[in-house]
Amino acid sequence: MKLNDFIKNFASQFEETDANLFSPETQFKELSEWSSLLALSVIAMADEEYDVKLKGDDIRNASTIEDLFNIVKSKK
């Protein structure tokens, strides 16, 4: 599991946000497109791509994409 692949998968959940804005340090909850619906998409992506069950608390406890990556990685 690589961080760059995770970022690409994460970014693919967004329709309007430029893919170049996504990096390990991106504070994803501050993106204008972020919503509870996108949170559900990210949870589904983690399940589909990594066979990891994220919870709402996991999303709430992450500030950056790298934080979320580390949570997913710890559940593998």
Question: Per-residue pLDDT tens for 2-56?
Answer: 999 999 999 999 999 999 999 999 999 999 999 999 999 999 999 999 999 999 9
pLDDT at 7: 98
Q: What predicted TM-score, i.e. pTM, was given to this entire model?
A: 0.94
| 52 within some domain | yes
**Cβ of 54: how many Cβ atoms within 10 Å?**
21
Tally of structural domains, the chain: 1
CA atoms of 68 and 70, how far apart (whole Å): 5
Judge whether 21 lies within some domain: no
Q: Residue 41: inside a domain, yes or no?
A: yes
DSSP 30: G
16 located within any domain? no
Range of the domain at 44: 3-11+27-75
Q: Give domain status of residue 40, yes or no.
A: yes
CA distances from 75 to 14, 21, 22, 61 (A): 24, 26, 23, 14
Q: Are 37 and 26 in contact (CB under 8 A)?
A: no
